[in-house]
Structure 1
Amino acid sequence: MSDIEPVQLWLRDYVSPGQAFHVGRRAGSASFRGTLHTHDFPEVFWIERGRLTHLVNGKRRLLAEGDVVFVRADDVHTFRPVGDEPFTQVNIALPAETLGFLEQRYFDGDDWAWASGGLPTMYRLDRVRLARLMELAALLAAGPSTRLALERFLLELLHDLVEPPVASAFPPWLGDALPRFADDPDALARGVPGLAALAGRSREHVNRVIRNSTGGTATALINELRLTRAARELRMTDLPIARIAGDCGIGNLSHFYRLFNARFGVTPRRYRLGQQTLIHGSR
């Protein structure tokens, strides 16, 4: 598509005077064809359901449910469906000045989601964080289009939902597999074989790469992913602890308690209660 001239999009065509942003949601299928374009504004979009191919800056990326992409103003991109699969995509367009303010105040260039160069930054959210992002977007769309509402949305997205990718120390094939593994209870239950299957590599190769990259074992990394997920679900859901242990791939509840206590210094129940003390006004 390098010989196609991109269409220039302008924020003024989507955001009326006095408004601070634009929220859009698109459900599509095999008949959808995006137009190659660039813009005078940054944006953030995510895949709410299904899969979508993102053609950006001359490269092709396969996006799946939970993928969040931070698009810079000068990125040139479009989208294509994946076969006959239906998809739903949500997009928020915003003024560059708002991002400039947030970057200068809170990030100072470090770990900035809209950092320049290469391809746009992408994160994959698990189901709990994707559900929260969808809640935030619904609130944003339903309320007044103010800069305060936009900054509230962006700060929670950047601070609470998006974490530095655990995959950064690993080769791309393993980095891509880890978020999918962490969000798949069946794969988590299988442990190293489940991760190897998602990565498309042998169990021995996965073990070797993880040890060379981290100095630790694949089992230790997998348990960290399991416990990180467990802690998040204890904070953000009312699911029974036994259900959370199962979702994290640990079928033996006593073993789950031992691992959790060793990692966080408290039992899962005490951890959940500790997160609620401020809400309840207790200590």
Structure 2
Amino acid sequence: MSQPVKLHWNKLAHSGEITRTFRDIIHEKSPGGYHYHDFHEVFRVEKGRGIHQINGQFHPLTEGQICFIRASDTHAFRGTSADGLTLLNISMHPDLSPPKILQDPMAGKPKPLPELFNEEIEMPPIWHPPAKIMPEVSHVFRHFINGYRDSLALRLFIHGLADLYRAGDKQITDIAPEWLSDAFLCLEFSANLQIGVQAVVQSSGRSLQHLNKECKRYFGKTLGDIVSARRLQLAVRLLELEKANISEIAQECGYASVSHFVRKFKAAYGQPPLRWRKHRSVIVRG
């Protein structure tokens, strides 16, 4: 076998890009080249079957499986089904590996690192999500692919996968119905965030009472709590851009006043927005 090829992020990605996403169909007669990289990636088998050659070992791949590839891993793919092996690949900036994202103290108290994103073990695990959470896993991937692909979106994607991996381990069966998850898609538009709870009520077509009941059942939070969290997520994204001032961010995120925004942000992240922005800038730039 020829020597593996090293892929470099600065040659693969455009300047300023946080993630790169692509689909690839790999056939038996045209296998993917043996390679490694200076960045991390997550791939999901969307269709077909194949073989994953990684770190000198061979593992079968089937539809639905997910794997985290570390920068230290050397691997290649080969399709074995008639229509080939269809992979969805999400590559991420070297400074934003899943373990770093999950253990970032700025995101709150870190939870134990799930086995899926363990960098210390010799072979990365291949996860086949249980059937009961597969729709939610698909939703997490779809939401990331179809939405923003900035650092906040990547963090939400990784945290979402980690939570579902833990849920699969615990065999949790109460997974939110698609209509409930889809109701919150309206909050991707700042105009709806400014409206808040009523925008989600209108999007869902259900009553506020029913929405609150279902949110408590599936998410353990009220609708108002979830809207507040989404506002803060947008605030974080705007703060990372280092362009908008605090009053503009407060207005964009639907807060009635700057003081209200600062109070809510400090309660969630432990420090005022400007101090958070300064601290984050130091972390990102190293």
Instruction: State the TM-score, normalizing by the size of structure 2.
Output: 0.55
In structure 2, the residue matched to 1:138 is 142
- Equivalent of 2:90, from 68, 74, 92? 92
Instruction: State the alpha-carbon separation in 2 of the partners of residues 152 and 280 from structure 1.
Output: 19
Mapping 1:182-201, distance limit 5 Å: none
- Equivalent of 1:155, from 156, 159, 163? 159
Count of residues paired in the alignment: 184
In structure 2, the residue matched to 1:54 is 52
In structure 1, the residue matched to 2:217 is 275
Instruction: State the alpha-carbon separation in 1 of the partners of residues 92 and 78 from structure 2.
Output: 23
Shift of 1:66: 1.6
Deviations 1:101-150 (A, max 9, x none): 32433256674613223111221113453333333333323333310111
Over 3 Å counting, the alpha-carbon distance change for 1:55 and 1:68 in structure 2 is same
Deviations 1:184-219 (A, max 9, x none): xxxxxxxxxxxxxxxxxxxxxxxxxxxxxxxxxxxx
Letter of the 2:18 partner, please give it: A
Instruction: State the TM-score, normalizing by the size of structure 1.
Output: 0.56
Mapping 1:167-206, distance limit 5 Å: none
Mapping 1:24-43, distance limit 5 Å: 24-43=22-41
Percent identity, aligned pairs only, is 23
Instruction: State the alpha-carbon separation in 1 of the partners of residues 40 and 48 from structure 2.
Output: 24
Deviations 1:218-241 (A, max 9, x none): xxxxxxx9xx46x235x4368xxx
Over 3 Å counting, the alpha-carbon distance change for 1:107 and 1:43 in structure 2 is farther
Over 3 Å counting, the alpha-carbon distance change for 1:151 and 1:107 in structure 2 is same
Over 3 Å counting, the alpha-carbon distance change for 1:96 and 1:129 in structure 2 is farther
- Equivalent of 1:236, from 177, 180, 188? 177
State the secondary structure of the residue aligned to 1:162: helix
Shift of 1:10: 0.9
In structure 2, the residue matched to 1:13 is 11
Shift of 1:9: 0.4
Instruction: State the alpha-carbon separation in 1 of the partners of residues 90 and 117 from structure 2.
Output: 14
For structure 1, the residue ranges without an aligned partner over 5 or more in a row are 167-224, 239-270
- Equivalent of 2:125, from 115, 121, 124? 121
Answering whether residue 43 of structure 2 is matched by residue 102 of structure 1, we say: no
Please report the RMSD computed on the Cα atoms of aligned residues, expressed in angstroms.
3.1
